[in-house]
Amino acid sequence: ETGVTQSPTHLIKTRGQQVTLRCSSQSGHNTVSWYQQALGQGPQFIFQYYREEENGRGNFPPRFSGLQFPNYSSELNVNALELDDSALYLCASSIPGRHTQYFGPGTRLTVL
Per CB under 8 A, residues contacting other proteins are: 2, 31, 33, 35, 37, 40-45, 48, 50, 55-56, 58, 88, 90, 92, 94, 96, 99-103, 105-106, 108
d(CA 42, CA 66): 21
C-beta of 50 vs 75, nearer to other proteins: 50
Q: How far is the CB of 84 from other proteins (least distance, A)?
A: 17
Q: Using the minimum distance from each CB to other proteins, give the nearer residue, 16 or 41.
A: 41
Distance CA 39, CA 88 (A): 8
Amino acid in position 97: G
| Closer residue to other proteins, CB minimum distance, 84 or 99 | 99
Q: How far is the CB of 53 from other proteins (least distance, A)?
A: 11
Q: Burial code of 51-84, b = ≥16 C-beta within 10 A, e = fewer? A: eeeeeeeeebeeebbbebeeebebbbebeebeee
